[in-house]
Chains A and B, each alone.
Chain A
Amino acid sequence: MDMHTFFFYFFSALMLTFGILTVTTKQLFRSAIYLLFTLISIAALYFMLNYEFIAAVQVVVYVGGIVVLILFSLFLTHQSGTFLVRPSLQSAITAAIVSIAGFGFVWWLLSGAEFSAAGVASNEYQVTQVGKQMLSFGRNGYVLPFEAVSILLLAALIGCVAIAYKQPPHLTSPKGRENKSQ
């Protein structure tokens, strides 16, 4: 067992453990922290596969952005110390059935598929290539999805502001006006 394989199993185990902990823990705050570790393990996996760029993006966007956002929302909604309510047995069973069915279906598909390994695990991709292809108009060019995603991000940004924005004083209660004046 070489170093590479060891790290693969190590990070995979780490990732799975924290993933399971994320969904099983009772405390919301802990759940967020476990998620953080899961994401870091995934980033480590990306490193091992020589996708450094993706790993970096993973760390920056997920770890630095989303998890922090989640933590912020926890604090904003005063939920950091709360315990999660156990889901009802019925919904738990239904969810289990559905997810097992989905898993079975995917498993059945995968077992029937034949993968032909390319053999050479190469390292020939460069970040410059990513940038070029991202903005290319030609074959394998991703400029259209790029633009679409950028518009989506803009829309999400404006939407977030519009949703979370406190309503104007004349629409809300006197208390809201007080809050605003502070």
Chain B
Amino acid sequence: MNFSMTIWILILPLATFLITGLLGKSMPKQLSGILGTLSMGICAALAFNIAYNYFFLVGKVGDTFQTITVFKQTWLSFAPFPSGRAGDGLSIDMGIILDPISVMMLVVVTLVSFMVHLYSYSYMKDEPRFHIFFSFLSLFSFSMLGLVVASNIFQMYIFWELVGVSSFLLIGFYYDKPSAVAASKKAFIVTRFADLGFLIGILLLSFYSESLDFATIIERLSNPDSAFLQTATAAGFLGASAMTWALCLIFIGGAGKSAMFPLHIWLPDAMEGPTPVSALIHAATMVVAGVFLVARLFPLYNLIPAAHHMVMYVGAFSALFAAVIACTQTDIKRILAFSTMSQIGYMMFALGVSGYGGEEGLGYTASMFHLFTHAMFKALLFLGAGAVIHHVHSNDLSAMGGMRKQMPVTNILFLLACLAISGIPPLSGFFSKEEILTAAFNSNKLIYAVGILTAALTAFYMFRLYYSIFWNKSHQSEKAVHPSPLPARMNIHSDGERGRGEASASMLIALCLLGVGTAAAGFIPFSHYISSDGKLFDSEFHLNLALIAIGAGVTGILIATLFYLKPNNRSDKFAASMGGLLQAARNKFYVDEVYEFITKKIIFNLISAPAAWIDKNIVDRTMILAGEITALVSDEVKTMQSGKVYDYVIYFFIGVLAISVLAVFY
């Protein structure tokens, strides 16, 4: 089986981006959308084909999945290391590798991207910059696909930044809306800041492994006997070895993209972008890049306990933290954003608790499994929320309620996704979550407890969301008079649809396909395909643990039912009893404020202000002084140029005298 067609998965979105971006203005408006959707559809088909071939026909040799290098082209080659050790020195390659996780990511990204294209085709159809939106979507898909198949860590970094840029463009798509502009800047700056860590980590890793190639890095640094690893762990800085630093810094990069605490602040704001963008970027693809990165380098993390624990604790904390905040938010997309953050925390700590190889690697498998199922149901949730927002013209929960009659299909699909994320069997979320919790239980009880708590909270806030949208009618009266916080542009394209209720056909097709994925994805025996070392194992099903997880989910759902199914004041009473905690959670635990404080008060006042002062009063003044002295001197000199010959004669004689004195003395 020849995988050379994989490269078309990269070329097609790039070509679409160029065509729709450059020629979009002169082609019929719908054509760019059709083109983008079509190319993404082809990519998805290719990806499925590749996945089928890889997982069932070619990839497995013995009982281990191979890493196949489809294509590799040296792009930048640096001089070999002076040590002259084995290997051909540093080079940045552009390549495509296929291994279980990259194939799985190809499927996820192309599928979700295809659905989002399909959905956007009608969602955005009244948007004047329709073709630009589609070209950005293609650019984003291209970058993300390039990221997942990268064979070289630097190639990954390049696509990583491309993903950052295209998400910046997409979040700020409504650039005439100040909040969207601010959100896109925030997302870009925060992730860029985190990427600095990634870059330094790359440099450290490549310095010690003398390679930029993933396979070589892992081979050289994961073997405890290798000289490379010994050098890397021997070198230390501030009490930690170079290896620990490198992995922690790389994790910071991943945490930035994956919105882990405390670098999560950009994610809720990024919901200012169009809803399909949120579904694509902030549910299924970009935000899991960090998880993917850690999974890619997993053999290294497994070796360094400090970095491994960091992944685990940060993931677990983020999961709980985001779940608590999500319970208090009222903006539907923000709830979903925090839910995403929480689920990614799950994936992270699953990686954190995982060991390497065989049964030990259950957490790794579970993490990838959850990534896969989460992509399905979270995209479904976002797109369903988009349909609702489309209908109501508001992001706010208080403007919704009792919509199940108006949007029956959306209602069912949304319920499906909510059940999936809450971990109710037999939907996909149950299986992946159960695996994660099992892995946590085997490894670290504290993390397990956090996981169970988070699962209950997840079920609670998801059903709070669900009931508030589709059942609880207490807010119906407000709906008519509620001013729309969305831009006027959003209102244009639904005027005709307002009474119609259900979303348009292509949106519904996308939703239904994702619904099928949500329901069915859980039955894939993931451990047969993806494991930490490529060897397969059978994951056991622990009934007790599963029951606890289900119990947590059901409890959350019941409480939510109690509070939000019908209009009542129980939730208010409960809120009153929680007091300050609720207030803090509603304000996202003031993390934004802390950032604000740090940047404005500390950095600006203590660093920037003195720097500005020095710049203004010393640097600038020096320059101004130099200029003023020059002007002053030239003013003086200019008066010597009187035009009077007598003066010139005197100068002449002074000069002659000076020269003759000089000539005599020297």
Contacts and interface: CB of A to CB of B under 8 A. Distances in A.
Given A98-B654, A102-B653, A91 B647 contact: yes
Given A94-B650, A102-B657, A105-B660, 14 more contacts: A87-B646, A91-B646, A91-B647, A91-B650, A95-B650, A98-B650, A98-B653, A98-B654, A98-B657, A101-B657, A102-B656, A105-B657, A105-B661, A109-B664
Contacts of A102: 653, 656-657
B567 to A, nearest CB: 101
Most buried by B among A87, A102, A109: A102
Interface string A81-116: 000000100010011001101100100010000000
A95 B647 CA distance: 9
Contacts of A95: 650
Contacts of A98: 650, 653-654, 657
Nearest to B650: A94
Interface residues of B, number: 10
Contacts of A91: 646-647, 650
Contacts of A94: 650
A100 B647 CA distance: 17
A95 B656 CA distance: 13
Contacts of A105: 657, 660-661
Nearest to A88: B646
A111 to B, nearest CB: 13
Contacts of A99: 653
A101 B661 CA distance: 11
A91 B664 CA distance: 28
Interface string B646-666: 110010011011001100100
Contacts of B650: 91, 94-95, 98
19 contacts: A87-B646, A91-B646, A91-B647, A91-B650, A94-B650, A95-B650, A98-B650, A98-B653, A98-B654, A98-B657, A99-B653, A101-B657, A102-B653, A102-B656, A102-B657, A105-B657, A105-B660, A105-B661, A109-B664
Interface string B34-76: 0000000000000000000000000000000000000000000
Nearest to B660: A105
Interface string B620-648: 00000000000000000000000000110
A101 B646 CA distance: 18
Interface residues of A, number: 10
A49 B240 CA distance: 102
Interface in A139-167: none
Nearest to A101: B657
A105 to B, nearest CB: 6
Contacts of B660: 105
A140 to B, nearest CB: 25
A102 B647 CA distance: 17
Contacts of A87: 646
B246 to A, nearest CB: 76
A120 B505 CA distance: 131
Nearest to B647: A91
A91 B645 CA distance: 11
A95 B654 CA distance: 10
Nearest to A95: B650
Nearest to A108: B664
B194 to A, nearest CB: 73
A99 B653 CA distance: 8
A84 B634 CA distance: 34
Nearest to B652: A98
A98 B650 CA distance: 7
A99 B660 CA distance: 14
A84 to B, nearest CB: 13
A28 to B, nearest CB: 16
Contacts of B657: 98, 101-102, 105
A107 B338 CA distance: 98
A113 to B, nearest CB: 11
A118 B248 CA distance: 98
A106 to B, nearest CB: 9
Nearest to A91: B646
A101 to B, nearest CB: 6
A151 B561 CA distance: 117
Contacts of A101: 657
A105 B663 CA distance: 12
A20 B654 CA distance: 22
Contacts of B646: 87, 91
Nearest to B649: A95
Interface in B160-211: none
B104 to A, nearest CB: 92
A114 to B, nearest CB: 16
Most buried by B among A87, A91, A98, A101: A98
Nearest to B653: A98
Contacts of A109: 664
Q: Which 3 A-B pairs have the closest CB atoms?
A: A98-B653, A94-B650, A102-B657
A150 to B, nearest CB: 27
A51 to B, nearest CB: 27
Nearest to A106: B660
A87 B661 CA distance: 28
B665 to A, nearest CB: 11
A109 B664 CA distance: 9
B656 to A, nearest CB: 8
A98 B664 CA distance: 18
A109 B660 CA distance: 11
A87 B653 CA distance: 17
B367 to A, nearest CB: 92
B43 to A, nearest CB: 82
A34 to B, nearest CB: 21
A87 B645 CA distance: 12
B582 to A, nearest CB: 89
Contacts of B656: 102
Interface string A13-39: 000000000000000000000000000
Nearest to A87: B646
B221 to A, nearest CB: 82
A87 B660 CA distance: 27
B211 to A, nearest CB: 77
A169 B664 CA distance: 54
A129 B656 CA distance: 35
Contacts of B654: 98
A94 B656 CA distance: 15
Nearest to A104: B657
A105 B660 CA distance: 9
B5 to A, nearest CB: 85
A59 to B, nearest CB: 29
Contacts of B653: 98-99, 102
Interface in B275-311: none
B664 to A, nearest CB: 7
A110 to B, nearest CB: 12
A95 B650 CA distance: 6
Nearest to A92: B646
